[in-house]
Structure 1
Amino acid sequence: MRATRLALVAMAAVSLLAAGCGGKSGGSHHGGTGAGGFTPPNIPALTSLGQGEGQVNLVSWAGYVEDGSNNKDLDWVHPFEQQTGCKVNNKVAGTSDEMVSLMKTGQYDAVSASGDASLRLIAGGTVAPVNTSLVPNYADIFPDLKNKPWNSVNGKMYGIPHGRGANMLMWRTDKVTTAPDSWSVVFDPNSPYKGHITAYDSPIYIADAALYLMSTQPALGIKDPYALDQKQFDAAVNLLKEQKQIVGEYWSDATKIQQSFKAGDTVLGTTWQVIANGLTGEKTPVQTVLPKEGATGWSDTWMVAAKAQHPNCAYKWLDWVVSPKVNAQIAESWGEAPANSKACTLTEDKNFCTSYHAADAPYWTKVHYWNTPITQCLDGRKNVKCVDYSKWTQAWTQIKG
C-alpha cells in the first residue's frame, strides 16, 4: 500500500537536490533552466534499443511489481519475463526517501517514483531523460500526464506516467449530517466533529493547508502549494497547528484509517479512493468529494537510472507496465487511475475508470500533484526563495508536537 510513501526527507538528500539545482548560469549544463529555475545535469537519453540484457533491477512501491507470490491472480512479472527474456529483480521501498537512497547506489535500473522524489532524482543526475519514442505505449498515455513539473524539465520527459490519484475529503454520512463541499470542515477550530477528524501524516500535508489558503486568504499570493515563501509557509504551518486541536488521528496506513472510519472513531477527513471503495464494499456509509478548493494528489512515474546496467530491459519494462492490459491490472489491484487511456476498456470492473475519474480531464485540473519543494520556487518566482522540504519536515515535527 501507499501507507508509508512520504517519509521524512533527510537533510542530506535535500542538500543534494540544492547542489544539483544550479541557476541559469550553470556553465557546462545544457538546455537552460528547468522547473523552479534549476538546470539538471546533461545526461543523454537512450537513442535506440538493443537486445535485452537478461535481467532488470527495479525499485518500486508495494503492489506495482507483482509475480503471483502475494496473490496468485496478480502476476504481470512472469508474462513479461517470458516475452522479453528479462528476469525481474524487484526491491520494494517503503518511502520516497528510501527510493532515492537505493537509486543512488547505482544497483538499480528503474524506479516507480512519486512526485516528492522525482525532482531529487533528476537534479542529482540519478535518472536520465527517457526517449519516449522507444516506449510505444507512451502514445496512449493521457495527454494531461505528459510534460508536467514533476516528470519533465524543459520539455524533456524523465519518465513514463504510470497512475494517479487524488487526496479527497471523505465523511460518514450517518455521522456528518450536512454533506461538505469544502476543506473548511477539517480546518474549522469550532468543528462539531472535534476529535473525530483525520489528516494525512506527512510533511507534504503542509501543501493541503497551503491549497486551502490559496482560496481563503488570496492576499498571501499562493500560486502553487509546493512553492511557499517564508510568509506563506508560516501561514500554512500556523493553520495546521490550529487544526491539531481538532484532529483525532493522523494517518499514513490506509488499512488502519479504513478501520477507524468503519468503527466510527473517525468520521471526517482526507482519504484515497481505494479506502472509500473498501469501506463501501464493507457497507460503511461514506461519501467522498473533491472539495471546491481542489485537492492534492499523486502521479507516479517510472524512471530509468542514468547509469542503468540493463537499460534495454528497463525500457522494455516501462513499456510493459503501461501497456493497456497490464496498466489496467495494476491500477485496479492497487486502487488508482491508470495512465494508459486504453486501459479503461480492460478493467474487470467496467465502472472502475469512472469511479477513479481516469478520463475526466476537468477533474484532474483541480488536483495539485505532489512535488518536491525546493528553494528555487516552483511557481517561477525569481526574486524570492521558497522553503525547501527539509524545513517542511522540521515544521511537521513541531506541528504534531
Structure 2
Amino acid sequence: MRTPHSLKAALAVGALLLTAACGSSAGSGSASSGLNPPDLKAQSKLGENEGQVNLIAWAGYVEDGSDDPKVDWVSGFEKQTGCQVKTKTAASSDEMVSLMKTGQYDAVSASGDASLRLIASGDAAPVNTGLIPNYKDVFTGLKNQAWNTVKGVNYGVPHGRGANLLMYNTEKVKPAPTSWSAVFDKSSAYKGKVTAYDSPIYIADAALYLMKTKPSLGIKNPYALDQKQFDAAVDLLKEQNKNIGEYWSDYLKEISAFKSGNSVVGTTWQVIANTAQSEGAKVKAVIPKEGATGWSDTWMVSAKAKHPNCAYQWLNWIISPKVNAEVAEYYGEAPSNAKACKLTADKSLCATYHASDESYWKNVHYWTTPIQQCVDGRTDVTCVPYVKWVQAWTEIKG
C-alpha cells in the first residue's frame, strides 16, 4: 500500500491517488518469525562508491529541487558521495515490488505491505546497520520491528512514521467520539457522511476494533487473521458500507469534504487534520481508546543491487538528522532520527507528530504484510494472505 503525503508534496506532484497498502501491528520483529526468507548475507563492509544509485520511492521522498528549488536533499548527497541519484517514483506498493524484481534498482522506500513480500521473495537483502552510522540515532521504537526484521535480521532502515486517526466535525459529531464505534457501530447516525480510507489495509482497522470489542474472536494482531476473524472484519465493513458517503484516496478531496460538510467523521492522517484546521474546517483528530493502525516506511536494499555501496550511502544520508528533518517536515510525518527534532523549521513538528512519545506509538499497530504464516505467532491455523484482502475489499465496496 502507499504511504501518506504532506500537502506540500501533494501539490508538488499533483493530487496523487493513494493505493492499496498493508499493515502490521506494533511489536518486535519476532512477529514475522513464520517467514523463511532465502539465506542471503548482509554486506560486511563498504567499498568504493559506484558513482550512481537507482531508487524507487514515494513522491516527496527524494526531492532534488526540480519541483521546488528550496526542497532538495539530493544535490548535497551527490556532491558529498559522488553517487548520482536516479529516481523512479512509484504509485503503489505493487509497482514497487514489481520494479524491485527487475534488478534495475538499488533501493526502495517500502511500505509495510511491500516489505515482507520483498523479504520473503529474496528481492531485498539483509542490511548491515553497522555500516550506517546514523542508524544509532533512530528511535528505539522503530528498530527491529515486524515489518522489516525477520528472526533478528534487519532488512532496512526506518524512514518515518504516522498514525491513522479518527477525525470528526466538532459541530456535527457530539459528544466528541472516543471510540472507533463512531464509524462502525454508530455510523448510521452519520449515514452518508462517514468516510474511510480506500485500501484493503483498512480491513485491519475493522479487525483492530473487533480485537478490542469482541475478545471472543481471539484477534491478537489486526494483520494476522484466520478465516473466522477475517470474515468478521469483512462483515463489519460491509455493514459500514451502507453509511459511507465516500472512500477517500486523494486526501486533498478528504479535506474538501470535511470543509464542505459532506464528511463529518472518518479516518485521517495528522497532516490532513492540520491542513483542514488551517483552512477553517471545524475538526479534531484523535487516537480512539481502541488504538489505531499506522505506518512506517523502510529504505531497503535490493539483493540484486548494482550499486550497493551508493545504496548504503543513501540509506545513511536519508536518515541523517538534517535531511530526515527536512523530509519529515515536507512530507508530513514523524522523523525516524531522534536528532532530527531539533533541526525542523517548525519547532513544534515533533510534538505535533508525537515523534518521541513512545507511549503514543504503543497504541499504534503498524502496517505489515498479511501472510499465510500468522504474524502473531500462531502455528495451528493459516492466516488470510494479502491477495485475499484485496479481493475482499472489492466485495466490501460493492
Normalising by structure 1, report the TM-score: 0.92
- 5 Å-filtered alignment, 1:142-291, equals 142-189=139-186, 191-291=188-288
Structure 2: how far apart are the matches of 1:283 and 1:257? 14
Task: Choose from 376, 379, 382 the match for 1:385.
Answer: 382
- 5 Å-filtered alignment, 1:341-380, equals 341-380=338-377
Deviations 1:72-120 (A, max 9, x none): 2110001110111000000000000000000000000000000100000
Task: Choose from 119, 124, 136 the match for 1:122.
Answer: 119
Residue type of the partner of 2:249?
S
Deviations 1:296-333 (A, max 9, x none): 01000000000100001000000000000000000000
Structure 1: how far apart are the matches of 2:309 and 2:31? 27
Structure 1: how far apart are the matches of 2:21 and 2:366? 18
- 5 Å-filtered alignment, 1:53-72, equals 53-72=50-69
Deviation at 1:192, TM superposition (A): 2.0
Structure 2: how far apart are the matches of 1:237 and 1:34? 23
Deviations 1:259-278 (A, max 9, x none): 11111111110000110111
Pair 1:77 & 2:74 matched? yes
Q: 1:7 maps to which residue?
A: 20
Residue type of the partner of 1:7?
A
Deviation at 1:140, TM superposition (A): 0.1
SS of equivalent residue, structure 2 residue 210: helix
Residue type of the partner of 2:382?
K
Pair 1:138 & 2:151 matched? no
Structure 2: how far apart are the matches of 1:155 and 1:347? 32
Do the aligned partners of 1:36 and 1:377 also contact (CA within 8 Å) in 2? no
Structure 2: how far apart are the matches of 1:366 and 1:124? 30
Structure 2: how far apart are the matches of 1:4 and 1:93? 11
Deviations 1:359-384 (A, max 9, x none): 00010010000111111111000010
Do the aligned partners of 2:21 and 2:111 also contact (CA within 8 Å) in 1? no
Structure 2: how far apart are the matches of 1:377 and 1:213? 18
Do the aligned partners of 1:186 and 1:268 also contact (CA within 8 Å) in 2? yes
Deviation at 1:286, TM superposition (A): 1.1
Aligned length: 378
Task: Choose from 60, 75, 96 the match for 2:93.
Answer: 96
Structure 2: how far apart are the matches of 1:163 and 1:251? 22
Structure 1: how far apart are the matches of 2:278 and 2:396? 34
Distance 1:210 1:364, change over 3 A: same
Deviation at 1:8, TM superposition (A): 7.8
Distance 1:190 1:397, change over 3 A: closer
Pair 1:334 & 2:331 matched? yes
Q: Which stretches in structure 2 are left out of the alignment for 5+ residues?
A: 6-15, 23-29
Residue type of the partner of 2:120?
A
Structure 2: how far apart are the matches of 1:270 and 1:99? 25
Structure 1: how far apart are the matches of 2:180 and 2:20? 24
Residue type of the partner of 2:202?
Y
Residue type of the partner of 1:373?
P
Deviation at 1:190, TM superposition (A): 5.7
Structure 2: how far apart are the matches of 1:56 and 1:311? 8
Structure 1: how far apart are the matches of 2:318 and 2:381? 40
SS of equivalent residue, structure 1 residue 342: helix
SS of equivalent residue, structure 2 residue 266: strand
Structure 1: how far apart are the matches of 2:20 and 2:280? 32
Matched residues, percent identical?
66
Pair 1:299 & 2:312 matched? no
Q: 1:313 maps to which residue?
A: 310
Structure 1: how far apart are the matches of 2:210 and 2:242? 18
Residue type of the partner of 1:245?
K
Residue type of the partner of 1:113?
A
Residue type of the partner of 1:292?
K
SS of equivalent residue, structure 2 residue 183: helix
Do the aligned partners of 1:34 and 1:40 also contact (CA within 8 Å) in 2? no
Deviation at 1:188, TM superposition (A): 2.2
Deviation at 1:283, TM superposition (A): 2.2
Distance 1:160 1:167, change over 3 A: same
Residue type of the partner of 2:218?
G
Residue type of the partner of 1:204?
I
Deviations 1:194-217 (A, max 9, x none): 111100101110000000000110
Deviation at 1:191, TM superposition (A): 3.1
SS of equivalent residue, structure 1 residue 178: coil
Structure 1: how far apart are the matches of 2:148 and 2:339? 21
Q: Which stretches in structure 1 are left out of the alignment for 5+ residues?
A: 10-32
Residue type of the partner of 1:280?
Q
